Amino acid sequence: MANSTSAALKRITTHSLQEMKQRGEKISMLTAYDYSMAKILDAAGIDMVLVGDSASNVMAGHETTLPITLDQMIYHASAVVRAVKRALVVVDIPFGSYQGNSAEALRSAIRIMKESGGHAVKMEGGAEIKESVMRVLSAGVPVMGHLGLTPQSIYKFGTYTVRAQEKAEAEKLIEDAKLLEACGCFALVVEKIPAALAKKVASSLTIPVIGIGAGVEVDGQVLVMHDMLGITQEFKPRFLRRYADLQQLMTDAFKKYISDVKTKDFPTSKESY
């Protein structure tokens, strides 16, 4: 008989996410890139973990998400998968590994699934990547779409400002969202778009729509872990709520350790053999 512990650890699937949308239960999602953080996050009860290509920024210190490679994404994703017992793990296919070539998209998605053990992939874009999305889906790999501010296209946008404020871009975004749903995507991320537009997208689709900087009237929320924990301090968009000030906490701990070493306060005899 299933006890309460095993029931609590019942895996989140694309199907359970769909049911959450149907019953109006909001879906929680955060990024993670390594084993230790993913373990804490999963144990806290997160529904979805995104191994985002934001690893390029917060783990590797690049200015954009463009430099991260498929091998590097697989490295991060496999560490996360080893830690996660309950959440659905979604892995970003990095820039240059799927656009404009559906055969390459399929190869990249299969490598991610086989080598990392991730449960789904995320791809940025709408009609322009339709073939790649369909090809990946045809192999049985669940795909999450990503519209609005798509950071892999930052050099096309030229700015990280709110997207789809103009009618034409908003209409294209709605069309793209419907197209991705029709293709068979299991969920969609909408990033940095007006709340009213995000609400319209979420109510027009049957698949879950997860927002970041897209207001509250969507089916769930995602943030970058390092931003919401206050490890990064320089990134301050309006949509970001900080749930901790880990930069300060860590700085204090590091300073205390350095001081204890210098003053021979650490280690004591109790901490020695």
Of 212, 214, 228, 229, the one binding ligand KIV by CB under 6 A: 212
Query: Does residue number 189 form part of the binding site for ligand KIV (CB under 6 A)?
Result: yes
Of 222, 227, 228, 232, the one binding ligand KIV by CB under 6 A: 222
Of 42, 47, 92, 181, the one binding ligand KIV by CB under 6 A: 92
Of 28, 42, 52, 98, the one binding ligand KIV by CB under 6 A: 52
| Closest residue to bound ligand KIV by CB | 52
Find the shortest distance in angstroms from Cβ 196 to ligand KIV: 20
Concerning whether 191 is annotated as a catalytic residue, the answer is yes
Find the shortest distance in angstroms from Cβ 201 to ligand KIV: 15
Query: Does residue number 31 form part of the binding site for ligand KIV (CB under 6 A)?
Result: yes
Of 14, 28, 54, 221, the one binding ligand KIV by CB under 6 A: 54
Query: Does residue number 97 form part of the binding site for ligand KIV (CB under 6 A)?
Result: no
Find the shortest distance in angstroms from Cβ 68 to ligand KIV: 9
Find the shortest distance in angstroms from Cβ 228 to ligand KIV: 11
DSSP string, the chain: ---HHHHHTPPP-HHHHHHHHHTTPPEEEEE--SHHHHHHHHHHT-SEEEE-TTHHHHTT--SSSTT--HHHHHHHHHHHHHH-SSSEEEEEPPTTSSTT-HHHHHHHHHHHHHHH--SEEEEE-SGGGHHHHHHHHHTT--EEEEEES-GGGHHHH-S-SPP--SHHHHHHHHHHHHHHHHHT-SEEEEES--HHHHHHHHHH-SS-EEEESS-SSSSEEEE-HHHHTTS--S---TTPPP---HHHHHHHHHHHHHHHHHTT-SS-GGG--
Residues labelled as active-site residues? 191
Residues in contact with ligand KIV by the rule CB under 6 A: 31, 50, 52-54, 92, 189, 191, 212, 222, 224
